[in-house]
Amino acid sequence: MFALSLRKTMLMAVLVLLAMGACKSKKKAVAPPPAPEVKEEVVKPAPAPAPVVRSAEEIAVEKLENNFTSIATSSNGASADKTIQEVLSMFSNQETPILIVIHEEGGVKDYDEPTTIKKYLDYLKDTKKNLNYISDIRLVGGKVTELELRRK
């Protein structure tokens, strides 16, 4: 009899503990979660973009394109001649080859008759048309040694 009541007592104690544990978990589930801490984020300004570094070829192409347009649109021969002299000073010599691509297929280029920078500048001055753009340039020691043009 004593053993039976000890079992009943132990069973009762376990049930009470389970009930108490269940009540605590219900309270936790019902209670609202604590509010998260609001951290102020310091917004750092974006770093300034790095200055664009242009190569010598890009600078030379831009300057030559502007000068070619200037020669073609020149209203008088004197200003065109002055610009021609400026352009010639950028080249290794007046006989620097100018190649004009007239067709390209599969990586194979067909060129117009080769000319020189002096002849090409005179052509621009006489026709008053700049129909080409620079597609390739070769510089040696800051001077243009070869120029490849294409139709616009």
The CATH number, out of the four listed (1.20.120, 1.20.58, 3.10.450, 3.40.50), of the domain defined by the range 56-151:
3.10.450
**What's the chain's Rg over C-alpha atoms?**
42
- 52-103 pLDDT, tens digit each: 788 889 999 999 999 999 999 999 999 999 999 999 999 999 999 999 999 9
Q: What value, to the nearest 5°, has the Cα angle with vertex 49 and ends 42 and 43?
A: 5
pTM across the whole model: 0.66
3-state secondary structure 122-147: HHHHHHCCCCEEEEEEEEECCEEEEE
CA–CA gap between residue 73 and residue 80 (Å, rounded) = 9
What are the boundaries of each domain within the chain?
Answer: 56-151
Mean of per-residue pLDDT scores for the chain: 84
